[in-house]
Structure formats: structure tokens, C-alpha cells
Structure 1
Amino acid sequence: MRIGELARRTGVSERSLRYYEQQGLLVARRTRGGHREYPEMAVDRVVHIQELFAAGLHSRTIFKLLPCMRDADGGPSAIATPLLVDELVAERARIDRMITDLLRSRDVLDEVIAGATADPAA
């Protein structure tokens, strides 16, 4: 599929897809006319990349992680090294801390909202 179709199917801009390719996160072959062509599994790959960016991972970490992730073909293409596993455990701990902080912030907002909407006559 061409870059425009991949962009439509994933909701990711063509510019982002070119960036992913530049960073080694996504691979496209070139046609004789120089157009990018992506395999069907690129859809799953882009979704994984988006999820990892949304979790706050950097492209360098994603680059190391992607070969270990399962794509539509069913299995990882490489075994994670102990160093990568340590990095991923640290990333997971960072995400857990962020979740805890966000839940605390939500609780504070709930208190403010409840106080602002409380009936003063009651």
C-alpha cells in the first residue's frame, strides 16, 4: 500500500510515517517510480508505534522494542535482551508513577468540582 493509504488506515499523517521510516521504525520498499510501498503488516506496526509514543517512550527505545513485539504475523522477530528488558521495566515503572499522579490530580479536581457545585443552602 502507498503512504496515503497507510496514513488513512492508521490516522497518522504522512509526515509522521516518513519520520518513522527515517528513525528506522517503519520500512517501505520503493517502486520504480520512487513511491513508498508498505506491506499490510505496516498497519499494525504503526498502531504499535503510536501506542508506544503515547506512553511516553522515545523513538530510540521504540526502535529497540519493536523487533520484540508481536505483529499480525503472530510472533516476535527477535528475543529481548536482558538490558532491553531492564529498560522496559523502568519505562513501565515510570508509566505507573504517571498513572498514580494523574489519579491523584483527578481526585483533587473531583473535590474542587464537588465544592464548586455544592448547594450552599444545604
Structure 2
Amino acid sequence: MGELAKLTDTPARSLRYYEEQGLIEPHRLPNGYREYDDYLVDRVVQIRGLLDAGLPTRIIKQILPCLDKPRTIHFSDATPEMLSTLQRERDRMTRRIECLVRNRDAIDDYLSAVKALA
């Protein structure tokens, strides 16, 4: 767990919580220690990004299969509330991305102007 925490810059406490919520599943060694597959590094980063975007873990658990290849999507769990929440969060993410792109472009313009003077 320590290595995964270090690789993902995620506290071990958070990793235990993700495990409790069914977001990640480590293998258990005969001595009870957790063993994490390499793919879980990306999975934890994705989970953190979705949490940072404001999605609750119950919805993250439902959309995680969409991140897998091949994809396994479970439509039976898609409630109107969940779909509405996902649409709202997607739209909020889109606005945030647009803002980040504008900010990046402004920084690029500033750097170009400063470098042209140098």
C-alpha cells in the first residue's frame, strides 16, 4: 500500500477508503498483505480526478467500468438521479476545462510576449 500511495501521491487512508467503497481491489497475499496490480496506479489517479471533479464515490463506482478496456457498462444501475448527476458534473467539467484552456492560453501569450522582449 505504501508504494501505491507514493506512486499516486495518495494517502494510505484514502486507498483503504477506496477499497472499502469497492473502487479498487487489491490481491491478498497468504500473509494478509495487500498486493496492488500496476493498473491500479492509473485507476487511483482516475478516481482522484473524478473525486476532485465533485463526483461521489457511489457514482464513480458505477462509471469506473467505462474506463476499462474492454468496457463493461452496467446499464441496470443507471437511475435517473445518477444520469442527471453525471450530466451536471460533465457540464461542470466542460466549463472548468474551457476555463483552464483560456488560462493556459493567457499564460502562453504572456510567456511569448516576455520572451520576445528578452
Same fold? TM cut 0.5: yes
Match of 1:16 in 2: 14
Contact 1:68 1:80 in 2 (8 A): no
For the pair shown, the structure with the greater C-alpha radius of gyration is: 1
Shift of the 39–62 alpha-carbon distance from structure 1 to 2, 3 Å rule, reads same
Secondary structure of the equivalent of 1:49? Answer: helix
Match of 2:105 in 1: none
* Deviation, structure 1 residue 29: 1.2
With normalisation by structure 2, the TM-score equals 0.69
Does residue 91 in structure 1 map to residue 63 in structure 2?
no
* Deviation, structure 1 residue 64: 0.3
Secondary structure of the equivalent of 2:41? Answer: helix
Comparing both structures, which one devotes a greater share of its residues to helix? 2
Provide the C-alpha distance between the structure 1 equivalents of 2:70 and 2:6, rounded to a whole number of angstroms: 26
Pick one of 62, 77, 89 that aligns with 2:71: 77
Q: Which runs of 5+ in 1 are unaligned?
A: 104-122
Secondary structure of the equivalent of 2:19? Answer: helix
With normalisation by structure 1, the TM-score equals 0.66
* Deviation, structure 1 residue 91: 2.2
Q: Name the stretch that deviates more: 88-97 or 57-66.
A: 88-97
Q: Which runs of 5+ in 2 are unaligned?
A: 101-118
Match of 1:35 in 2: 33
CA-atom RMSD, angstroms? 2.6
Provide the C-alpha distance between the structure 1 equivalents of 2:70 and 2:46, rounded to a whole number of angstroms: 13
Contact 1:20 1:26 in 2 (8 A): yes
* Deviation, structure 1 residue 80: 5.3
Q: What is the percentage of aligned positions where both structures have the same residue?
A: 46
Number of residues paired by the alignment?
Answer: 96
